[in-house]
Amino acid sequence: MNKSIIISATILISTALTVPVVFSDDDRREYRQRSLGVAPVTSEVYKNECSSCHMVYPPGLLPASSWQKIMTGLEDHFGDNAELDSENFKIISEFLDTNSADKSDYRRSRKIMRSVNKDNAPIKISELPYIKRKHDEIPDKMIKYNQKVNSLSNCSACHSSAEKGLFNEHDVRIPGYGYWDD
């Protein structure tokens, strides 16, 4: 009796030890996202309300303090009026706060946070030291004076998966110039 228990226990344990760890496609995708980018945007309200005039900026690109400053100045939002009704204002503020760079463990968010002071960061993504450093070798003609790009803030012009939170260097295609490799 005792022997059979020992045998079955041994079989169970050895099976458990030899079963290979299986990663699903979802696991792989999440690992890729975590190691290459920032968290993807999950709020439909945020996507709908904020994508009329510009690309959908993943909230993991700025700390909460910067998002708060942006949300309190929507009447003059980088020169445009982007006022929201109170219901959407609340939903979007909460979404930005909980998903901001300082509360994210995605690689790019952590790198962004290492480059700024949490409470005194710029409100423009294009002025974050990490973002500036990553783009400092690219000449103005490819961004600023490139009619299909116009500005460093137009991430998705070159990073085709920017709205999904992916900023892998190998996926960069600069309009009119093609691949970028440094």
Partner 1 sequence: MKLITLISCLIIFPFGTAIAENYAVLQLLNSYQAETKKQPNAEKGQQLWNQTFTGKSPFTERSCRTCHTSNLKLPGQHIRTKKTIEPLAPSVNEKSLSEVKKIKKWLKRNCKWSIGRECTAGEKANLLTFLNQQ
Residues that bind partner 1 (CB under 8 A): 52-55, 75, 78-83, 85, 150-151, 153-154
CB of 150 to partner 1, least distance (A): 5
Residue 24 or 81: the one with the smaller Cβ distance to partner 1 is 81
Which candidate, 34, 39, 73, places its Cα nearest to that of 58?
Answer: 39
Query: What is the distance, to the nearest Å, from the Cα of residue 34 to the centroid of all Cα atoms in its chain?
Result: 9
Residue 68 or 154: the one with the smaller Cβ distance to partner 1 is 154
CA R_g for the chain? 22
CB of 49 to partner 1, least distance (A): 9
Q: How far apart, in whole angstroms, are the C-alpha atoms of residue 114 and residue 102?
A: 9
**Are 102 and 116 in contact, with CB atoms under 8 Å apart?**
no
Residue 150 or 160: the one with the smaller Cβ distance to partner 1 is 150
CB of 104 to partner 1, least distance (A): 25
Q: Which residue has the tokens 């700390």?
A: 63
Residue 72 or 120: the one with the smaller Cβ distance to partner 1 is 72
Q: How far apart, in whole angstroms, are the C-alpha atoms of residue 117 and residue 62?
A: 11
What the block records as the tokens of 142 is: 């490819």
What the block records as the tokens of 112 is: 């962004």
CB of 62 to partner 1, least distance (A): 17
CB of 79 to partner 1, least distance (A): 6
Contacts of residue 55, defined as CB under 8 A and 6 or more positions apart, other chains included, come to 154, 155, 156, 162, 163
Residue 65 or 153: the one with the smaller Cβ distance to partner 1 is 153
